[in-house]
Amino acid sequence: MIQGFCITGIILVVFMAVCIVKMGSIKKEIVNTMRFLFSVAILTVLCNIAAVLTVEETVAMLMHGLYFALTDWLVVALFYFAKHYTGYFEKNKTVVRLFSFLSIVDTISLLANLYFKHIFYCEWTDIQQGAFEYSCYAVHTRMPGYLSHILIVYSMALFVIAVFFVKARNTIKLYRRKYDVILYSFVIILGVNIIYRFVNIAIDISVIFYALLAMAIGYFGLMYIPKGLTARLLSFSVKDMSMGILCYDLEGNCIYVNDMAKRLFGQTQSSDYEFFEKYYAEWLEEQGDEELVDTTWREQQIEGDKISYYETKFKRLLDDEGNFVGAYFSIVDMTEEIIKYERERYRATHDELTGIFNRVGFMEQVHMVLENDPDTKRCMMCVDVKDFKLYNEMFGVEAGDKLLIKIAGIMRQEYSENIVYGRLSGDRFAVCMPVERFDEQRITNYIKTAAEKGGNEVYHVHIQLGIYFITDSAMDVSVMCDRGMIAIQSIKQDYQKYAAYYDETLGDQLHKEKKLISGFEEAMDDGQFKMYLQPQIAVDGTLLGAEALVRWMHPVDGLIPPIAFIPLFEQTGYIHKLDMRVWELACKKLAEWKKMGREDLHISVNISAKDFYYIDLYETFTGLVKQYGIAPKNLKLEITETAVMTEMSKQLKLLDRLREFGFHIEIDDFGSGYSSLNTLKDMNVDVVKMDMGFLKKTEHQDRSRIIMDSMIAMSKKLGIAVITEGVETEEQVAFLRTAGCDMFQGYYFDKPMPVEQFEEKYKVS
Relative to beta strand 543-554, strand 558-560 is antiparallel
Q: Which is nearer to ligand C2E, 204 or 691 (CB)?
A: 691
Per-residue x/- track, 589-628, ligand C2E (CB under 6 A) = -----------------x-x--------------------
Q: Tell me how far, at minimum, the Cβ of 567 lies from Ca ion, in Å.
A: 14
Q: Tell me how far, at minimum, the Cβ of 693 lies from ligand C2E, in Å.
A: 6
Measured CA to CA, the distance from residue 674 to residue 459 in angstroms comes to: 7
Question: Which of ligand C2E, Ca ion, none is residue 752 near (CB under 5 to 8 Å by kind)?
Answer: ligand C2E
Tell me: cis bond preceding 434? Omega within 30 of 0 counts.
no
| Interface segment toward Ca ion; rule CB under 5 A; list 176-184, 524-532, 599-607, 670-678 | 599-607
Q: Tell me how far, at minimum, the Cβ of 548 lies from ligand C2E, in Å.
A: 6
Q: Which is nearer to Ca ion, 45 or 605 (CB)?
A: 605
User: Do the Cβ atoms of 742 and 725 come closer than 8 Å?
Assistant: no
| Interface segment toward Ca ion; rule CB under 5 A; list 45-53, 112-120, 340-348, 635-643 | 635-643
Query: 3-state DSSP call for residue 357?
Result: strand
Which among 186, 161, 31 is positioned nearest to 88, based on CA atoms? 161
The answer to the question of residue 747 lying near ligand C2E (CB under 6 A) is yes
The answer to the question of residue 469 lying near ligand C2E (CB under 6 A) is no
Q: Tell me how far, at minimum, the Cβ of 715 lies from ligand C2E, in Å.
A: 18
Cα Rg of the chain (Å, integer): 52
The size of the chain, in residues, is 765
Query: 3-state DSSP call for residue 301?
Result: strand
Q: Tell me how far, at minimum, the Cβ of 393 lies from ligand C2E, in Å.
A: 19
Q: Tell me how far, at minimum, the Cβ of 662 lies from ligand C2E, in Å.
A: 22
Residue 224 zone, left/alpha/beta (φ > 0; ψ -120 to 50; rest): beta
User: Do the Cβ atoms of 636 and 664 come closer than 8 Å?
Assistant: yes
Which of 206, 534, 715, 724 contacts ligand C2E by CB under 6 A?
534
Question: Which of Ca ion, ligand C2E, none is residue 482 near (CB under 5 to 8 Å by kind)?
Answer: none
Q: Which is nearer to ligand C2E, 214 or 549 (CB)?
A: 549
Per-residue x/- track, 187-216, ligand C2E (CB under 6 A) = ------------------------------
Catalytic residue, candidates 337, 725, 728, 730:
725
The answer to the question of residue 545 lying near ligand C2E (CB under 6 A) is no
Backbone angles phi, psi at 671, to 5 degrees: 100, -15
Q: Which is nearer to ligand C2E, 427 or 742 (CB)?
A: 742
User: Do the Cβ atoms of 570 and 578 come closer than 8 Å?
Assistant: no
Q: Which residues have a Cβ under 8 Å from the Cβ of 215 and sit 6 or more positions away?
A: 12, 15, 16, 19
Q: Which amino acid is at 195?
A: I
Q: Which is nearer to ligand C2E, 180 or 725 (CB)?
A: 725
User: Do the Cβ atoms of 609 and 390 come closer than 8 Å?
Assistant: no
What part of residues 548-577 is at the interface with ligand C2E (CB under 6 A)? 549-550, 561-563, 566, 575
CA distances from 549 to 96, 543, 567, 751 (A): 102, 17, 14, 11
Per-residue x/- track, 268-307, ligand C2E (CB under 6 A) = ----------------------------------------
Helix or strand run (H / E) with residue 499: strand 499-501
590 burial type by CB count under 10 A (0-12 exposed, 13-18 middle, 19+ buried): buried
Q: Which is nearer to ligand C2E, 491 or 549 (CB)?
A: 549
| Interface segment toward ligand C2E; rule CB under 6 A; list 333-341, 441-449, 648-656, 744-752 | 744-752
Q: Which is nearer to Ca ion, 72 or 638 (CB)?
A: 638
Which of 103, 113, 473, 606 contacts Ca ion by CB under 5 A?
606
Question: What proportions of the chain, in percent to the nearest 5, are helix, strand and coil?
Answer: 55, 20, 25
Question: Which of ligand C2E, Ca ion, none is residue 563 near (CB under 5 to 8 Å by kind)?
Answer: ligand C2E
The answer to the question of residue 746 lying near ligand C2E (CB under 6 A) is yes
Question: Which of ligand C2E, Ca ion, none is residue 534 near (CB under 5 to 8 Å by kind)?
Answer: ligand C2E
Q: Which is nearer to ligand C2E, 474 or 563 (CB)?
A: 563
Question: Which of Ca ion, ligand C2E, none is residue 550 near (CB under 5 to 8 Å by kind)?
Answer: ligand C2E
The answer to the question of residue 506 lying near ligand C2E (CB under 6 A) is no
Q: Tell me how far, at minimum, the Cβ of 698 lies from ligand C2E, in Å.
A: 15
The answer to the question of residue 131 lying near ligand C2E (CB under 6 A) is no
Q: Tell me how far, at minimum, the Cβ of 398 lies from Ca ion, in Å.
A: 32
User: Do the Cβ atoms of 69 and 110 come closer than 8 Å?
Assistant: yes
- According to DSSP, the residues that pair with 296 across neighbouring strands are 313
Measured CA to CA, the distance from residue 433 to residue 693 in angstroms comes to: 39
| Interface segment toward Ca ion; rule CB under 5 A; list 186-194, 232-240, 258-266, 663-671 | 663-671
Backbone angles phi, psi at 140, to 5 degrees: -120, 120
The answer to the question of residue 21 lying near ligand C2E (CB under 6 A) is no
Q: Tell me how far, at minimum, the Cβ of 548 lies from Ca ion, in Å.
A: 9
Backbone angles phi, psi at 289, to 5 degrees: -85, -5
DSSP 8-state class, residue 440? H
How many CB atoms sit inside 10 A of residue 689's CB?
26
User: Do the Cβ atoms of 1 and 129 come closer than 8 Å?
Assistant: yes
| Interface segment toward Ca ion; rule CB under 5 A; list 185-193, 371-379, 385-393, 668-676 | 668-676
Q: Sheet containing 244-249: which strands, arranged edge to edge?
A: 254-257, 244-249, 324-333, 306-318, 295-303
The answer to the question of residue 752 lying near ligand C2E (CB under 6 A) is yes
Query: 3-state DSSP call for residue 129?
Result: strand
Which among 408, 394, 404 is positioned nearest to 457, based on CA atoms? 394
- Is residue 398 part of the annotated active site? The answer reads no
Which of 669, 742, 750, 759 contacts Ca ion by CB under 5 A?
669
Relative to beta strand 753-754, strand 529-538 is antiparallel
| Interface segment toward ligand C2E; rule CB under 6 A; list 166-174, 240-248, 506-514, 723-731 | 723-731
Which among 458, 338, 332, 438 is positioned nearest to 390, based on CA atoms? 458
| Interface segment toward Ca ion; rule CB under 5 A; list 34-42, 467-475, 516-524, 667-675 | 667-675
The answer to the question of residue 651 lying near Ca ion (CB under 5 A) is no
Q: Tell me how far, at minimum, the Cβ of 747 lies from ligand C2E, in Å.
A: 3
Q: Which is nearer to Ca ion, 351 or 611 (CB)?
A: 611
Per-residue x/- track, 672-701, ligand C2E (CB under 6 A) = ---------------------x--------
DSSP alpha helices (H): ranges in 171-205?
A: 173-198
Q: Tell me how far, at minimum, the Cβ of 688 lies from Ca ion, in Å.
A: 11
User: Do the Cβ atoms of 400 and 392 come closer than 8 Å?
Assistant: yes
Measured CA to CA, the distance from residue 150 to residue 275 in angstroms comes to: 65
127 burial type by CB count under 10 A (0-12 exposed, 13-18 middle, 19+ buried): middle
Which of 579, 668, 750, 759 contacts Ca ion by CB under 5 A?
668
Q: Which residues have a Cβ under 8 Å from the Cβ of 443 and sit 6 or more positions away?
A: 381, 465, 499
Q: Tell me how far, at minimum, the Cβ of 641 lies from Ca ion, in Å.
A: 11
Which of 333, 384, 513, 638 contacts Ca ion by CB under 5 A?
638
The 3-state secondary structure of 8-24 reads HHHHHHHHHHHHHHHCC
CA distances from 617 to 294, 400, 435, 664, 684 (A): 75, 29, 51, 14, 17
Q: Tell me how far, at minimum, the Cβ of 515 lies from ligand C2E, in Å.
A: 19
Q: Would you please indicate which residues are annotated as catalytic (active-site) residues?
A: 725
Task: Give me the residues that bind ligand C2E (CB under 6 A), please.
Answer: 534, 549-550, 561-563, 566, 575, 579, 582, 606, 608, 668-669, 693, 725-728, 746-747, 752
**Interface contacts to Ca ion, rule CB under 5 A:** 606, 638, 668-669
